[in-house]
Amino acid sequence: MNSALPHLAEPLIIGPVTIRNRIVSSGHDTVMAVDGSVGDQLLAYHQARADGGVGLIVVQVAGVHESAKYTSAVLMADDDTCIPGFTQLAEEVHARGASIFQQLFHDGRELMESEDGTLPVALAPSAVPNERFHVMPRAMPIEIVREMVECYGAAADRMRRAGFDGVEIVASHGYLPAQFLNPRTNLRDDEYGGSPENRLRFLREVLAIARQAAGPDLAVGMRISIGEESPDGLTPQEAIDACAALNADGLVDYISIVAGTSATLAGSDHIVPPMTTAVGYLSPLSARVKHAVTVPVILSGRINSPQDAEQVIARGDADATVMTRALICDPEMPAKAFAGDLDGIRACIGCNQACIGHFHAGYPISCIQHPETGRERTYGIRMPAAQPRDVVVIGGGPGGLKAAAVAAERGHRVTLIEASRRLGGQVLLAQEIPGRAEFGGAITNLEREASRAGVKFLMSTRADRALIEELAPDAVVVATGAVPRIPELELIDDPTVLTSWQVLQGAEVPTGRTVVADWRCDWIGLGVAIDLAQRGRKVTLGVSGYHPGQRIQQYVRDAMIGQAVRLGVQIIPLVRPFGADSQTVYFQHVLTNEPIEIQASSLVLSQGHLPVDHLLADLADGPWDMRAIGDCLAPRTVEEAVLEGLVEATAL
């Protein structure tokens, strides 16, 4: 046991349940349910985290009523057919020493999608619309309110029969119970609206019936936003007052706190805060809740290292810490931490790309650094190579590092060749974007994994056919990346035209207005615009899509667009660059081809990339097994490069 983490390692009593340590995997949708039920993929996902030493797993939301299907992939607990799947999940988690709670859920007006594309009827306390999803709900008749309370009780009973350790009522993020609490979304004039006491009635009745149905051996808790961070959202004091009242009633064994709401763009960014958000930023709110209640408080909010979690608990700000993304990135994080191997932990960088980003796109969640997550059944166990081979990996970016690490872990003798003095590839540029320094942690993690596995590095070495023949490997993995794409433009009078790479590498940018032309609508063009604006430049960002950041995860995009707006960046959507002269940049509208002129002293191109693929042809007829990964196949993102590194190294 690591003496540096005494508070985090200590067991925690939550009602009738004792969890083995203070690390919690909170409820988060995995998009791994099968027809609303627990399937093999979800089992394997939670098995990995229980094996890795987590104290408590809180399973993703399960709908208590047919109308709670806020996405087509949601888990459901609205009839007894769910019990066998939940039973198997509980048994697997218990066999690995962890405790398991189930979130019980109704979204109210927060509908994201439907099963067939038609708009279902959303239910809410009152007909108050949702800003983010543009949903106008139906005000619930009182008989439906009472029916819904009963549904929570029935779902809690099913969890008891399935062998769970507890249930958690989701009153966070502007979902149905929070809609009843909030005087701006609850306009009722019956017993469930009006006074604070009446607005609390629904949640009080839900907790009471859940406690009755769960019985004496299950913990009953609540998750709630201590402030929804929206103009019409629940305020911190309103939420704390509700926590204090429910605690005084003896209805909760613990309270799990978050911030934000699903109802607005800015509020929803707190659901999974991006890397621009400070670590542990909700600790002051958690401390306020701790002073208002007598039960354990669990804190969320960008706590991605055991050291940070230890400090939170040592200060008394919370009794346990949610470390969900840290566990997505490294399921073995708790075991490593408590064994004293803090340097061996693969740290989450808060990029949101493959975790919540996959969820929003409707795919099972994963991690750009650890694509084994969500693919545990295929890649969860590193199988030793049947016959160790000599393997050369060309390129020390994230894909090459992953391929080298996995191949070496399997027992191959691996040499990685990198042309420059530093490993990292394009990540070395990505970390220069304002607010994205943490992204560089991906290379720190991957380099450490490769070094620990015994990979030999040849730095400042350019690979060619002669060198590969000299090394005489059995297999070659080509991961040579990409370079900036520069489109054909009409240029007159020698204008200043730079690439985003050159700007991030420190190239001099003339004074006056700079135009950034962004083709891909990802974080690069938007990030360079922010960088230039912070340097004091007047910036116009022209994007080929509907808005900047169109291809990146919403919460990351929101944070970056908000920053750009505050810095005065002018944004022009639906344009492509056409040309430039010494005083003007010329765009075309992508829908009408009409010209758009902008007075500017320089043009910065963020127009995607071209593959560096010459070695694919040069090495194609060699006596080695050759494979290609990442941008040299087709320029994409870190996620694809690392995944392909895993796939190809596993196949060697």
Instruction: Examine residue 1 and state whether it is found in any structural domain, yes or no.
Output: no
**Residue 219 three-state SS:** strand
Residue 166's beta-bridge partner residues?
Answer: 101, 219
pLDDT at 114 over 80: no
State whether 43 and 145 are in the same domain: yes
Question: What 3-state class would DSSP assign to 458?
Answer: strand
Q: What distance in Å separates the CA atoms of residue 315 and residue 7, rounded to the nearest whole number?
A: 10
Q: Are 591 and 610 in contact (CB under 8 A)?
A: no
CB atoms under 10 Å from CB of 422, counted, come to 12
Tokens of 335: 């075991």
Is 175 catalytic? The answer is yes
Please give the mean pLDDT across all residues of the chain.
97
Residues written for the chain: 652
E-state strands within 194-252 = 219-225
Pair (578, 513) in one structural domain: yes
Q: What's the CATH number where 590 sits? A: 3.50.50.60
In this prediction, residue 71 has a pLDDT band, given cuts at 50, 70 and 90, of confident
Instruction: List the catalytic residue out of 152, 175, 254, 379.
Output: 175
Q: Do 329 and 214 sit in the same domain of this protein?
A: yes
When pLDDT is averaged across residues 354-370 and rounded to a whole number, the result is 96
Domain termination site, one of 377, 393, 409:
377
Q: Rounded CA gap, 248 and 241, in Å?
A: 11
| Residues 20 and 144 reside in one and the same domain | yes
Count of structural domains, the chain: 3
Specify if 288 maps to a domain. yes
Look at residue 9 and tell me whether its pLDDT is greater than 70: yes
Q: How far apart are CA 313 and CA 405, in angstroms?
A: 35
User: Which residues are registered as beta bridge partners of 100?
Assistant: 57
CB count, 10 Å around CB of 139? Answer: 16
pLDDT (tens digit, 9 = 90+) per residue, 596-605?
999 999 999 9
Query: Which positions ≥6 away from 212 have C-beta within 8 Å?
Result: 153
Residue 2, pLDDT above cutoff 70: no
User: Average pLDDT for residues 461-476, to the nearest whole number?
Assistant: 98
Among the residue ranges 66-75, 229-238, 251-260, 281-290, the one predicted with the least confidence is: 66-75
d(CA 495, CA 37) in angstroms, rounded, equals 60
Range of the domain at 563: 490-607
Residue 115 is predicted with a pLDDT of: 76
What pTM, to 2 d.p., does this model score? 0.96
CATH code for the domain in which residue 274 is found = 3.20.20.70
Question: Are 325 and 412 contained in the same domain?
Answer: no
User: 90 in a domain, yes or no?
Assistant: yes
Residue 210 in domain: yes
Give the orientation angle of helix 83-95 with respect to helix 142-162, to 10 degrees.
Answer: 50
Per-residue model confidence as pLDDT tens digits over 565-613: 999 999 999 999 999 999 999 999 999 999 999 999 999 999 999 999 9
CA distance 11 to 19: 6
Q: Tell me how far apart the 2 most distant CA atoms of the chain are, in Å.
A: 83
**pLDDT at residue 73, as a whole number:** 86
Q: Is residue 413 assigned to a domain? A: yes
SS3 call for 645: helix
Residue 592 falls inside a structural domain: yes
113 and 226 belong to one structural domain? yes
Amino acid sitting at position 456: K
Does residue 557 share a domain with residue 502?
yes
Q: Are residues 615 and 599 in the same domain?
A: no
In a domain, 544, yes or no: yes
Predicted local distance difference test score (pLDDT) of residue 101: 98
Of 506, 497, 461, 499, the C-alpha closest to 483 is 499
Residues 391 and 475 sit within 8 Å (Cβ to Cβ): yes
Q: What is the pLDDT of residue 23?
A: 98
Among 636, 63, 23, CA closest to 325: 23
Q: Cα(516)–Cα(526) distance, rounded to whole angstroms? A: 8
User: What's the pLDDT band for 443 if we cut at 50, 70, 90?
Assistant: very high
Instruction: Give tens-digit pLDDT for 167-202.
Output: 999 999 999 999 999 999 999 999 999 999 999 999
Q: Give yes or no: residues 364 and 471 share one domain.
A: no
Sign of the CA dihedral running 494, 495, 501, 502: positive
Query: Is residue 539 domain-resident?
Result: yes
Looking up residue 464, the CATH number of its domain turns out to be 3.40.50.720
Distances (CA, A) of 204 to 63, 149, 196: 19, 10, 12
Give the tokens for residue 530: 């922010």
* Residue whose pair of structure tokens reads 């080298």 in the numeric block: 404
Bridge partner residues of 490 (DSSP): 579
- The closest of 308, 72, 31, 61 to 172, measured between CA atoms, is 61
Here the tokens at position 485 are: 């794409």
Tokens matching residue 495:
């204008």
**What distance in Å separates the CA atoms of residue 339 and residue 351, rounded to the nearest whole number?**
27
Instruction: Say yes or no: 266 and 336 in one domain.
Output: yes
Separation CA 628–CA 457 (nearest Å): 19
Q: Tokens for 284? A: 């002051």
pLDDT tens, residue by residue, 205-243:
999 999 999 999 999 999 999 999 999 999 999 999 999
Q: Are 511 and 538 in contact (CB under 8 A)?
A: no
What CA–CA distance (Å, rounded) separates 645 from 634?
A: 14
What order of strands is seen across the sheet that includes strand 584-589?
490-491, 575-580, 584-589, 595-599
Got the DSSP string for 82-138? GHHHHHHHHHHHHHTT-EEEEEEE--TT-----SSSS-PPPEESS----TTT---PE
**H helix intervals, 2-96:** 6-9, 40-51, 83-95
Q: What is the per-residue pLDDT for 1? A: 53
1 C-beta neighbours (distance < 10 Å), count? 12
pLDDT of 277 over the 80 cut: yes
Please tell me whether residues 63 and 142 are part of one structural domain.
Answer: yes
Please tell me whether residues 290 and 231 are part of one structural domain: yes
